[in-house]
Each structure stands twice: as structure tokens, then as C-alpha cells.
Amino acid sequence: MNMDSDLQIAGDILEVPHLLQPAREHPVTVAEFVGLARELAADRALWAPYVAYDATTRWYHRLRTGPGYEVWLLSWLPGQGSGSHDHGPSSGVLTVLEGELTERTERGVRTLDAGAQRVFAPGYVHEVVNDSLEPAVSLHVYYPGLTEMPMHASAREQCAAQPVVA
């Protein structure tokens, strides 16, 4: 016990109900959405039966909805990507469940291995691609639920569109 502090708790703190926060039925903070994503990611029996792969496009399945949020499961074969986009008014948590994904933004490139999480705010522009030789699976939580996904020119396309000045 730290005796340098003049604050000491006497008795059982759990007997002071007005100091305890009731458990929330649904997440409302960024930390709670990250926790929801981690909880779902850890429950392989919940999501693994739904994973499928499509050779022509990324595959996706809405895994869960709650008050104002959605949870999506996505699979990525090698070479598949999202294109450069944002999520409109939605914030999100991306969690890699299996494999490896590459995230590209105007600030650079980041490799996301299984277990990696990215939290992003509304308007965050990125491109997610499976640059590896193995399939990948990811979990995405959006709040509010995803209503739009505006596409953007990728950094590579923007550079190609710029006139060359000699």
C-alpha cells in the first residue's frame, strides 16, 4: 500500500453503489468498440463458420448489428483490395483475424498482421489490400452503421494524374 497518499479507502468499495457505473448493454466509447472487436475476434466459433472466399471480389458478411453500429466480416484472397475510400460519417475499428493486410494512406504503408487493430475517425481515407500470398480475414466495426463508402483516387493514381513539369 502506498502510504505517501493521504487518500485511503476504508471498507469495501463495492458497497458504495453510487461510485459504480452500471454495465452498459452496448458499446458507446471508442475503447468499448475496440473491446467489442477484440471480444468477437477471440470467439473463433462465432465468426469462422461464416468465412467464405470469392475469386472475383472481396467477400463480406454482416455479423452483428446493435444500436447504431454494425460488425462486418470480410475475407481477402491474395491481390484483393478495397480501393482508396473513406467511411463517410462512420468511425471504425478494423481487426485482422487471419493472414496479413496492407493499409495504404497518404502518410504511408502499414502491414497489419493477425491481431492488429486500426481505429479510424469519419473521413479517414485508406486503402486495404491483401499483398500477401495467403488469404486473410478481417473484422470491421462501424459506428454509426456504414451508410456510405466514398471512393477516392489512390495516391498512385493522383501521382499519375499530375502533369510533369520540366
Tens of pLDDT, residues 87-99: 999 999 999 999 9
Interatomic CA distance for residues 67 and 80, integer angstroms: 31
Tens of pLDDT, residues 53-83: 999 999 999 999 999 999 999 999 999 999 9
What is the pLDDT at residue 166? 46
- Could you give the number of structural domains in the chain? 1
The grid coordinates of residue 53 equal: 472466399
What is the pLDDT at residue 164? 46
Quick check: is 9 in a domain? no
Model confidence, pTM: 0.81
Tens of pLDDT, residues 30-44: 999 999 999 999 999
Quick check: is 146 in a domain? yes
Any idea of the CA torsion for 42, 29, 118, 98, to the nearest 10 degrees? 20
Quick check: is 50 in a domain? yes
The grid coordinates of residue 36 equal: 467489442
Quick check: is 114 in a domain? yes
Quick check: is 2 in a domain? no
Provide the residue range defining the domain that includes 50. Answer: 24-150
Quick check: is 135 in a domain? yes
Which CATH number is 51's domain given?
A: 2.60.120.10
Cβ proximity of 86 and 150 under 8 Å: yes
Nearest by Cα to 149 from 33, 70, 55 = 70
